[in-house]
Amino acid sequence: MPSTHDWINDPVGVVEGMFAASQSNPSSGWEARAVEFFKDRLKEKDAHTLVPSLNDIPMHYLKPNSLVKFRCFIQDMFDPEFYMGVYETVDPATQAKTLRCGKYKDVTECGVDFNSKNTVTAERQTFYCVPIPGENPWVKERYANSSQARVVPSTSYVPSRQKRSYEEDDDMDTQPQKQREAHAGPQSPTEHHGNGDCKRQETEAPSSQMTSASHLDLNFPLPGEKGPSCLVKVYEDWDSFKLNDMLEVYGILSVSPALSALADEKDASSNLLDPTESMETAEEQRVHCPPASLVPRLHMLYAKQLQHNNPLLPSAATSEDNSAFLASTLSEMPSVREELLAYLTHVLLGDALAAEYLILHLISNVYVRRDVLPLGKFTLNMSGCPTVASYTERLYQIIQQLVPSSHYLGMSLQNMNQIRLVPKKDYVANRLVSGALQLAKNTSLYLDETQLEQGQLDTTGVRNVTALGNLISWQKVDYDFNYHQMEFPCNINVLIASEGRSLLPSDCQIHLQTQVAPSHLEEYLSTMHMLSQASSQLNKFRIYLSVARLLDYSISDEVTKSVEDDFVDMRKDDPQSISAEDLHRMLVVARLLSLSQGQTSLSRDSWLRAKHIEALRRSRMEQHKCVNGNEP
Amino acid sequence: MSSPASTPGGRKRGRNTNPPTPSSEDPTSPPSQRRRGQDSSTGDLMPMPTSPATDILSPAAPQDTSLLSSPRPSVPPNEVDMSSPLMYGTPSSRIEGTPRSGVRGTPARQRPDLGSVRKAPQVDLHSEPPSADGAVASESNAGQRLVIWGTDVNVGTCKEKFQRFLQRFVDPTSTEDENAGLDLNEPLYMQKLEESDSHCTMVQLTCYPQEVIPTFDMAVNELFFERFPDSFLEYQIQVRPYNAVKTKSMRSLNPEDIDQLITISGMVIRTSQLIPEMQEAFFQCQVCAYSTRVEVDRGRIAEPAVCRHCNTTHSLALIHNRSVFSDKQMIKIQESPEDMPAGQTPHTTIVYAHNDLVDKVQPGDRVNITGIYRAVPMRVNPRQSNVKSVYKTHIDAIHFRKTDEKRLHGLDEEAEQKLFTEDRVQTLKELAAKPDVYERLSSALAPSIYEHEDIKKGILLQLFGGTRKDFSQTGRGNFRAEVNILLCGDPGTSKSQLLQYVYNLVPRGQYTSGKGSSAVGLTAYVMKDPETRQLVLQTGALVLSDNGICCIDEFDKMSDNTRSVLHEVMEQQTLSIAKAGIICQLNARTAVLAAANPVESQWNPKKTTIENIQLPHTLLSRFDLIFLMLDPQDEAYDRRLAHHLVSLYYQTEEQMEEEFLDMAVLKDYIAYARTYINPRLSEEASQALIEAYVDMRKIGSGRGMVSAYPRQLESLIRLAEAHAKVRFSEKVETIDVEEAKRLHREALKQSATDPRTGFVDISILTTGMSATARKRKEEVTQALKKLIQAKGKTPAMKYQQLLDDLRGQSETAITKELFDEALRALADEDYLTVTGKTVRLLA
């Protein structure tokens, strides 16, 4: 290993070196310098790609106490904790005292002198982080491929058991373990924990509990998610992080088995005399101190808030880089837009107008909130979706290929009555139990209403539908804290596919007009080609959609004036034709239309075009209303 | 001696690592020696909390162990023999028959909240036999020299100051009764303390609570027994300070607060069962029955390895029954939602309650807790040499104060008074002094919603509310102070948005939708608690928004059943519940802000309000203001609207920032006015109100109808009071009445205009029918009667034919409803009956 990479392999050594050096010079501010050091290193060209990522490298390949990165989502925030920032150890043999640094570590060295006057207590915050919910496979793959980190399974670390991921572990171990337990049970039921020989059993006990609900224990927002979750320890500036933020954390991986051992010990109810520990419930212990082999600790050195999780875009370390990149893609945007429009038209059974609206929806983004009103959201209700040949699911698959993260929610009665959409605080375990609406910003939520059948929604169902309604209208989710609710703003693109008008509110409804005869639909769908995974065209689309969302936008005074005139004129002709709400929508459409063409300010043409497509859409609605009169 | 220094926190600060300063007297002498010589020791023994902590750190040798067990309050053996077999269990179970008096006879309760092995040292002080006066003098002399370890707390001065302060306080209210009196008065001590010049004592109290509070205890007891030498107390008085200077939000606690006295507020989310915590272990030798006691030190008991009496090793066994336990409870506190920054999850803190404070709070209570913040290192695992480098933190509670205690009773519960900084108050007052404050505030309200100035003004007045009046002596009960507002109008006129805004603005707001809420959801329901299996009352939106605003969207879509519960709430401001054996009346002093859509989805200008929204008039008359939000449809308005909307979409960040500040100011402004301003009617204002009311009645009487009822007068008064509150004025003046009148008229003009005549007619709201309509009904009835009489003696007629005949006769169109009503009126007169399709004459 070249010595230049020591800061990746042994960041603790670097930190300790700085700490030691600072002892002679107390005012050196070594802490800031240490953080600065890592930041500088990461700024070097491609340096960040050298750091192995927890997302794509199995944990047992990573060296403990090495620098790793983790692309994650803050699912929960635990209470701040106080730790020994600096402490003194006493060598039992020589009685020599040494000052040590406790930062970026979970466990202290031997022989801590608790009464040393040099002890410094410091504060840090713990975040519970999970991989970004709903991140699509292409994103993961792409990130993994771009990584240059060479991972050599370390020899010092003997992962005899950990080599299997915990899920396999469960499957394979439950059986024999149960047997073993059955053996051990009658012989020494009480000694189960006290016996030093059955260490193996002890460490396995928690994992066997997880078999039934392994994902629940890791608390992923969406069912069926995989990947490591992490307890990220934050040392500075934790107020700047918010729940549901997307982060790229660079930190020191800590998987010290001592942590799990400590956690295990606590289960044994031997410490009657220690009130501080007997007070915490087993659940709380399990959540807050899970075995480090399942949930590693990550001591944050540096974190980057992610504006997007599209691997094809520069990760926007500095805004200047970013704007240069944006400028370069701007010129291509109209042509890419044409291609994408053609492709989506093809996908939407030849309906160009619907394709146009779909593009607008895909690049929509809540860019500002005016008191309670979120601006820029564009929830699309695509009605008239054919119910044959699982069309709606196919449509989702295509969207999945285009956007970095998305989630499909089939609104079947059973689903609505059963799933947990709204996160809820579990006071017993003292954590926020996640729900499917705890999503990172700009996640595409695809609601498939064609799955709805007749039946009755129960209490949960009604609550879920209300939550979805709130999400769409106000872009917020009221998390359930039992004694009160807490409002968390969100920024989720909701697309509703339905047959008739959706039961949920929406900003805009478009009725799909297929150009394909129903009899040929099946055939058409089977020939509908999906773009191959890595095609450059698909990548162009992906970049296009993400970039359009990041662009700034403005309206000149001139155009403002003409928009106002237009509005007044329209109202003059027929006051019923356009309401304030319609103007709101038209302004959003105009904004998105401009952005979709790579224009950062509203032009007269775009405004007219926005008016035009809105008129087309409305006339289609009218038409549709006439066709089946029972539509409201 | 039991020392503050023996707590882990103390260690960490390194106070005790200082070598013991050999002060002139014997605090540093071995405690065992002191114990023997106790009774003869001189007064300088008093500042006992100084203890050589270095000894405690090596509790291996037997004699060291005895060092650890601090001298218990030395009481004459015939009174309280702690080692007697009768004395076991928790200290509170010790009750004695012998009457005692004086500090000496009163057992001191342990204060586990101050430190793990603390015992108040005051008895030592009083075991000295000198005359009171002399003692005080000598104490203060001695006090000059004696300072508690590692601190700058001068015991003598501190005690003296506190006593002086106590005396100053006690004297004016000398009526106190012996036991309760002092307890009741305790809270005032702190305020007094602040006033008196002993400010430095305050600082000491917050910094070194575990040293200073026992000193206070000492002082109180001394004083008490000095004043009431013959009184009998079960236990010595304990001082429980509250409302510490360091009032903090949970979020701002940091390592510097460890071991300091802090006050934080929060909500109780979980309480544990009662935990008996061993304070003192009782060991007995199996060989010679020699018994010894070991005090708990940092959660551990050092078992004596050798019996001191017979020198047998490992012969001592723990006797649980005779060990001393104290009560303890773990309570989890969560940050209150108001204190939280957006986008973060609430923090929780563990609080330990001891002895008296156990079971004083329940989950869900909002409390202010005063206590000492502690940090304990994680347990060292015996099998592992390294330690988790994290401390466990908790608060040892000294005092609880429930902030919502009086929520269900009591009129002026401004318990959770919002604290305003001087600067803030100044800013608010400056704002209030501006002549256009009313306009300013109303335009700051929901700026994203365009115009509707009067509606915003109405809502602004609703946010401030009227003054609470109590007429229960005269039998009328409470007067409603809240202003209720109904917004109705076309869909898409941002009614919901306005509601959302209000809901976000007020601290106790609730937002419900008429479609989704049931009667129980609004009021309260009884459910079985899954944990305790007891029936508990879960309160609904109306009760939760007590003292706040309940926003009800889609009011028209609410079922009649649900709406009916609003009748009581909107006038009597209470909610009566009789469910599952729970019969009670809850306060629901909430203002209702409702929004309703017209029945025909578009407002029909040809119909009255009642007809448009189809709400029972009994309910409508309970709204002070009913506004119509209509699309005005004129060009100038359209232009301004368009400009407003477009500007929404490109405003810069700075402008947004400005606005956000406005919202914070607005919040504070409202909170301040609601808390501190209680305007009363001035003479002129009352005159103006009377005139206004008479005028309103006159308008109607000219046309043979009544256009105002007492309810409208009450509304006017409320609005005028609210407007005075907006001006921060303690007096309601004529301008307030003028504005109230204007707004009321404006709302009336919009909602109670009779579409047939164009006049304002309050009876539309009060009876559901305009006076013209009633007149018309009367006419039709008369016409019908005439018609029937003209037909002569026909006992029965066909319904349809009668209708046709009447239509033919009348010049104006007669609807079927009108005809039905006329028939009903005649049936009421017992003139005829209607059975199916036939009409029969009676008599």
DSSP string, A303-339: EEE-S---TTS---SSHHHHHHHHHHHHTTHHHHHHH
Distance CA A460, CA A150 (A): 48
| B377 and chain A in contact, CB less than 8 A | yes
Cβ atoms < 10 Å from Cβ of B537:
16
Distance CA A584, CA A563 (A): 12
Match 């705890």 to its residue by tokens.
A438
Cβ atoms < 10 Å from Cβ of B745:
14
Task: With residue A101 as reference, give the H or E element that holds it.
Answer: strand A97-101
Indicate whether B95 pLDDT > 70: no
Name the amino acid, one letter, at A141: E
A118-127, B515-524, B775-784: segment of lowest average pLDDT: B515-524
Indicate whether A155 pLDDT > 70: no
- Region A57-80: mean pLDDT is 85
Q: What percent of chain B has pLDDT over 70?
A: 55
Model confidence at B492, pLDDT cuts 50, 70, 90, reads low
Task: Evaluate whether B389 touches A108 at the Cβ level (below 8 Å).
Answer: yes
Could you say which residues from 11 to 40 on chain B have a Cβ atom under 8 Å away from some Cβ of chain A?
A: 11-14, 16-17
Reading the block at residue B300, the tokens are 């551990």
The C-alpha of B279 sits at a distance from chain A's nearest C-alpha, in angstroms, of 10
Q: What does the pLDDT read at residue A216?
A: 43
Distance CA A38, CA A395 (A): 44
Closest listed residue to residue B246, CA positions, set B370, B159, B396, B351: B370
Q: Which of B252, B330, B358, B387 to mutate to test the interface with A (most CBs of A within 10 A)?
A: B387
The runs of H, that is alpha helices, within B196-262 are 199-207, 209-227
Closest listed residue to residue B67, CA positions, set B113, B37, B33: B33
Q: What does the pLDDT read at residue B8?
A: 35
The C-alpha of B596 sits at a distance from chain A's nearest C-alpha, in angstroms, of 18
**More confident of the two residues B710 and A151:** B710
Task: Evaluate whether A359 touches A596 at the Cβ level (below 8 Å).
Answer: yes
Closest listed residue to residue A599, CA positions, set A343, A337, A308: A337
Measured at the CA of A206, the angle between CA A202 and CA A207, to 5 degrees, comes to: 110
Distance CA B61, CA B306 (A): 9
DSSP state of B173: G
Distance CA A585, CA A136 (A): 30
Distance CA A281, CA B330 (A): 12
Query: At B202, phi and psi to the nearest 5?
Result: -60, -50
Helix-strand-coil percent breakdown of chain B, rounded to 5?
45, 20, 40
Q: Which of B379, B497, B649, B654 to mutate to test the interface with A (most CBs of A within 10 A)?
A: B649
For the stretch B566-604, pLDDT in tens is 777 777 777 777 766 677 777 777 888 888 877 776 777
Closest listed residue to residue A151, CA positions, set A70, A63, A69: A63
Letter string b/e over residues B360-395, b meaning 16 or more CB atoms within 10 A of that residue's CB: bbebebbbbbbbbbbbbbbbeeeeeebbbbbbbbbb
Model confidence at B105, pLDDT cuts 50, 70, 90, reads low
Closest listed residue to residue A204, CA positions, set A121, A252, A260, A259: A260
Distance CA B49, CA B125 (A): 12
Q: What does the pLDDT read at residue A266?
A: 46
- Which bin fits A441, alpha (ψ -120 to 50), beta or left (φ > 0)? beta
For the stretch B155-214, pLDDT in tens is 666 666 666 665 555 433 333 333 333 333 443 444 444 333 344 445 556 666 666 777
Whether residues B17 and A117 touch (CB distance < 8 A) is answered with yes
- Region A472-478: mean pLDDT is 87
Reading the block at residue B507, the tokens are 């601290």
Task: Evaluate whether A345 touches A573 at the Cβ level (below 8 Å).
Answer: no
Distance CA A420, CA B168 (A): 61
Shortest CB distance from A275 goes to which of B275, B390, B393?
A: B275
Reading the block at residue A564, the tokens are 């106002």
Distance CA B676, CA B55 (A): 56
Whether residues A580 and B492 touch (CB distance < 8 A) is answered with yes
Q: Which of A97, A126, A372 to mutate to test the interface with B (most CBs of B within 10 A)?
A: A372
**More confident of the two residues A115 and B69:** A115
In a 3-state reduction of DSSP, which class is residue A99? strand
- Which bin fits B248, alpha (ψ -120 to 50), beta or left (φ > 0)? beta
Dihedral over Cα of B607, B612, B614, B617: its sign: negative
Task: Evaluate whether B330 touches B275 at the Cβ level (below 8 Å).
Answer: yes
| Residues from chain A contacting residue B507 (CB–CB below 8 Å) | none
**More confident of the two residues A337 and B430:** A337
The runs of H, that is alpha helices, within B342-450 are 422-433, 437-444
**More confident of the two residues A526 and B632:** A526
DSSP state of A229: -
- Region A500-508: mean pLDDT is 84
Distance CA B398, CA B261 (A): 9
Task: Evaluate whether B510 touches B545 at the Cβ level (below 8 Å).
Answer: yes
Indicate whether A339 pLDDT > 80: yes
- Residues in CB range of A498: below 8 A, 6 or more apart: A381, A382, A383, A385, A449, A450, A452
**More confident of the two residues B789 and A400:** A400
Query: Tell me, what's the ipTM?
Result: 0.73
Q: What does the pLDDT read at residue B658?
A: 53
Reading the block at residue B788, the tokens are 């029937």
Measured at the CA of B121, the angle between CA B118 and CA B122, to 5 degrees, comes to: 140
For A138, A140, A247, A339, B201, the CA distances from A532, given in Å and listed in that order, are 11, 17, 30, 15, 77
A237-251, A478-492, A515-529, B764-778: segment of lowest average pLDDT: B764-778
Whether residues A271 and B270 touch (CB distance < 8 A) is answered with no
Could you say which residues from 656 to 685 on chain B have a Cβ atom under 8 Å away from some Cβ of chain A?
A: 656, 659, 663
For the stretch B697-751, pLDDT in tens is 776 555 555 556 777 788 888 888 888 888 888 887 888 888 887 887 777 766 6
Q: What does the pLDDT read at residue B113?
A: 59
| Residues from chain A contacting residue B391 (CB–CB below 8 Å) | 81-84, 121
pTM of the model: 0.70
Shortest CB distance from B381 goes to which of A77, A262, A488?
A: A262
Q: What percent of chain A has pLDDT over 70?
A: 77
Whether residues A371 and B378 touch (CB distance < 8 A) is answered with no
Distance CA B389, CA B400 (A): 31
Whether residues B387 and A112 touch (CB distance < 8 A) is answered with yes
Q: What does the pLDDT read at residue B661?
A: 54
Measured at the CA of B431, the angle between CA B430 and CA B437, to 5 degrees, comes to: 140
- Residues in CB range of A407: below 8 A, 6 or more apart: A133, A134, A222, A436, A439, A443, A444, A445, A446
A59-68, B112-121, B329-338: segment of lowest average pLDDT: B112-121
Distance CA B293, CA B35 (A): 15
- Region A48-68: mean pLDDT is 82
Q: What does the pLDDT read at residue B631?
A: 66
For the stretch B799-822, pLDDT in tens is 777 778 777 777 666 777 777 777
Shortest CB distance from A575 goes to which of B390, B492, B631?
A: B631
Q: What does the pLDDT read at residue B707?
A: 57
Q: What does the pLDDT read at residue A124?
A: 87
DSSP line for A510-529: EE---SS-HHHHHHHHHHPP
Model confidence at A23, pLDDT cuts 50, 70, 90, reads confident
Task: Evaluate whether B253 touches B336 at the Cβ level (below 8 Å).
Answer: no
**More confident of the two residues A325 and A562:** A562
Model confidence at B378, pLDDT cuts 50, 70, 90, reads low
- The residues that bridge with B801 in the sheet, in sequence order, are none
Angle between helices B209-227 and B155-170 (to 10 degrees): 50
Q: Over the Cα atoms of chain A, what is R_g?
A: 28
- Region B748-759: mean pLDDT is 63
Cβ atoms < 10 Å from Cβ of B134:
10
Distance CA B236, CA A264 (A): 44
Model confidence at B767, pLDDT cuts 50, 70, 90, reads low
For A224, A346, A352, A360, the CA distances from A530, given in Å and listed in that order, are 24, 11, 18, 21
Dihedral over Cα of A125, A130, A131, A134: its sign: negative
The C-alpha of B546 sits at a distance from chain A's nearest C-alpha, in angstroms, of 15
In a 3-state reduction of DSSP, which class is residue A585? helix
Model confidence at B87, pLDDT cuts 50, 70, 90, reads very low
Q: What does the pLDDT read at residue B176?
A: 36
- Going across the sheet that includes B591-596, the strands are B509-513, B549-553, B591-596, B485-489, B625-629
A459-473, A590-604, B327-341: segment of lowest average pLDDT: B327-341
